[in-house]
Chains A and B, each alone.
Chain A
Amino acid sequence: MLIRDLARIAMGGLTVNIGRSMLTILGIVIGVASIILIVSVGNGAQRLILSQFEGIGSRVLVIQPGRQPQGPSDFFEFFTDSLKERDVKALTVRGSVPGIVDVAPVVAGNFSVVWRDESKRATTFGATDIFADILDVSTASGEFFTNEDVRQRTSVVVLGYKLNQDIFGDSDAIGQVVKIKNVNFRVGGVLPKKGNVGLLNVDDVAILPYTAAQEYLTGTDYFQEILIRVENEDVMPRVEEDVKNLLRMNHNITDPAKDDFHVMTPADVASRVSTVTGILTAFLTAVAAISLIVGGIGIMNIMLVSVSERTGEIGLRKAIGATNNDILKQFLLEAVILTASGGVIGMILGNTFSYVLSLALSYFLDVSWKFVLPLQAMAVGIFVSTIVGVVFGIYPARRASRLDPVEALRYE
C-alpha cells in the first residue's frame, strides 16, 4: 500500500469521529502542554535569576555567618553572631589579604520608615559607602552617605525608588526627616529604579551607615554579611582561601569543619539556584510525564473500542485484499497520528501559556521575565508523544490485524 494512501486511510478513520478523537488526545495534550510550560517557565526563572546575579558582578565574595549550609536544618546558622567589627578590621588592613579592593559589612533588618502619617516597612541595610558601588547604583537625587558618615554614625538614610514613591509620592524627599524605630534620619539620597540585584529588590530598601544601624536600630555588634570586592576574577579562588584562613585565625579555629562562617561567590549562589530550579523542573516534568502515560492508556482504551466497533470494516478490508500488515499499519498510524497531533497541540498550548505567563510576571512582579522557547523540551515532547502512540497503539493494532475475516464480516 502506498504511504500516502495509508495516511489517508488513517486520517479517514480519525476524522469520521472528530469529537471522540479530540477527547482521546486530551490526556496527551495536557501532558505535553504541562511539560512545555514547566520547562519554559523553569528556564525563564533560571535565566532571570542568573541575569540578576550578573548585576552583583563576578568580583564579589560574600562572607556569611555559620558553617556552609548543607540542608534546611542549617538555616539557623545564619543567625550566628560570628562576624564582627574585628573581622572587618582584619580584612581591611592593607596587605592582610592581597587582591582585596573593598570590604563592606552589612547589617540587615526590617523596619518601618515613617514620615508624617505615611509608614512603610522596608528592608534596611546598614552598610558602608561602597555598598552603592557593589549594587552598581548611584543616587537619582541627593547623595549617597560617605565614609565619614559611617565613622560618625550619622543618621542619614538613602531610599530605594519604590520606597521613596510610596512615602513621598511626587514631593521631594531630600533633606526631609523620617523616623525609623523612633530615631530621626535625614533622607540623604534617593536611588533610581533598579529592580533586582541577586535576590534583593533594590527598589524596596532603605540603606544607612552600618554604624548607625547597629547603634539605633538593631542594637547588635555583628554583621549578617561581609561583602568583599576583589581586584579581578583570576585571584578570586586565592582570595577566598586567604579570607577563610584569616577569619579562622581571628576566630581561633583550627579545624575547617568547625568554621563559624562560610564564603560564597556569586557563581556559587547562581549555581545553587540553577540546581534548585533544575531539580524542580525535572520533578515537575516527571509528574507531567506520568500524565503522558495515563494519556497513552486512554488512547489504548479508545483504540480498543474503535477496533471492536470497526470489526466489520476490518473484515471488509481484509476480504478485498488488505493484508494483516496493512491493517496493523493502519491502526498503528491512527494511534500515532492521534498522539503526535496531541503533542503538537500541547506544544502550542504550553508555549502560549508560558508566553502569556511571561508577560503577566513581567507586568505584575515588575521584572524582565523573558519567554524562553524550550526547543529541547519541544523535541522531546513530540518524540515522546509519538512513542506513546506506538507503544499504546501496538496492542489494539495487533488485535485488529489478527481478526478472522469471516468472523469480522459477520459482525454488524
Chain B
Amino acid sequence: MLIDVRNLIKVYGLEDSKTHALHGVSFTIDNGDFVAIMGPSGSGKSTLLHILSFLDRPSGGQYFFEGKAIEDLSDEDLARVRNKKMGFVFQSFNLLPRRSVLDNVVLPLIYANVGQRERENRARSLIKDVGLEHRIFHLSNQLSGGEGQRVAIARALVNEPTVIFADEPTGNLDSISGRQVMTLLEQLHDRGHTVVFVTHDQMIADHAKRIIRLRDGRIESDSIIK
C-alpha cells in the first residue's frame, strides 16, 4: 500500500474565521492505481492533493506514506521524499520562465545531487518521450500551453517517481492538448506509475481507473471504473 489516510482533517484560518476544508477523509491508494479526485469547486480537492503530496500537513487524522506516518517526518525529510518519490504537474505548468526546456526538466535532479551528464541524458530521453526533442533548447515562455504541460510532465518523471500528482493538469489547456496530456498520464499508468489527479471535468476523470468524489470536504463516493 502506497498511501493510507485515516480521518484526515484540514482547517484553515484561526479562531473566528475557520474554514473546514476536509472533515475526516479516509481511503487508501495502492501502487499502480490511477485515481481521479473529483468534486465541485471548493469541495477540498486541492487541499487533499496538497496533503497527499506533502506540500501541506493535515490539521488532524493520520497519513501513512509507504507505511510511515508523516507526523514523524521533518520538513527536510518531506522535501527529500517529494524529491525522490513524487512527481508534480500543476494546472499552470509552473515552468521557470526564460529558461530552456532542458533546464526545466533537469531541475528535480539538481536537488537529488545527480551529476550533470546523467541528468541531461535522462532529461533528453524524457523530452523525446513527450515529443518535444525539437524544442529542447527553446525557452519555456516560447512554448504553447500544450507543450508547456508536456515539459512539466517530463519534469515530473525525471526523478523516476513512485507517484505522480496532478492538480487540474488540463485546466488551462484546449481540449486537444488536454487529451494529449491525459494520454501521457495513461501511458505512465500503463508503465506502472501511480497517478493521482484532480479534476472537476467528468470527461477527464473518465481516463482514470478509480474516481474519488468529494463534497464539502467529505468523500461522497469512491468507485472503481471498468
Residues of chain A whose beta carbon lies under 8 Å from any beta carbon of chain B: 1-2, 5, 9, 12, 16, 312-313, 315-326, 404-406, 409, 412
Contact = CB atoms under 8 A, between A and B. Distances in A.
Given A320-B155, A322-B79, A323-B75, A315 B94 contact: yes
Contacts of B215: none
A321 B111 CA distance: 6
A319 B98 contact: no
A9 B116 CA distance: 13
A147 to B, nearest CB: 86
Contacts of A325: 76
Interface in B93-127: 94, 96-99, 103, 107-108, 110-113
A12 B140 CA distance: 14
Contact of A319 (B88, B99, B103, B159): B88
Nearest to B84: A321
A12 B99 contact: yes
Contacts of A412: 92
A319 B55 contact: yes
26 contacts: A1-B113, A2-B113, A16-B98, A313-B96, A313-B97, A316-B90, A317-B107, A317-B111, A319-B94, A320-B82, A320-B83, A320-B88, A320-B107, A321-B80, A321-B84, A322-B79, A322-B83, A322-B111, A323-B75, A324-B76, A324-B79, A404-B56, A406-B50, A406-B56, A409-B55, A409-B94
Chain A's interface: helix, strand, loop or mixed, by majority? helix
Contact of B55 (A5, A326, A406): A406
Interface in B3-59: 50, 53, 55-56
A12 B111 CA distance: 15
A404 B159 CA distance: 23
Nearest to B103: A12
Interface residues of B, number: 28
Contacts of A315: 94
B113 A321 contact: no
Contacts of A319: 53, 55, 82, 88, 94
A318 B79 contact: yes
A93 to B, nearest CB: 89
Contacts of A318: 55, 79
A404 B82 CA distance: 15
A4 B76 CA distance: 21
The 7 closest A-B pairs by CB, nearest first: A321-B83, A321-B111, A320-B108, A323-B79, A316-B94, A5-B110, A405-B55
Contacts of A1: 110-111, 113
Nearest to A318: B79
Given A313-B96, A406-B50, A412-B92, A320 B111 contact: yes
Contacts of B84: 321
Nearest to A326: B111
A317 B103 CA distance: 13
Contact of A321 (B82, B94, B97, B98): B82
A16 B140 CA distance: 13
Contacts of B97: 16, 313
Given A320-B108, A321-B79, 4 more contacts: A321-B108, A322-B79, A323-B80, A406-B50
Nearest to A323: B79
Nearest to A412: B92
B75 A409 contact: no
Contacts of B75: 323-324
Interface in B49-80: 50, 53, 55-56, 75-76, 79-80
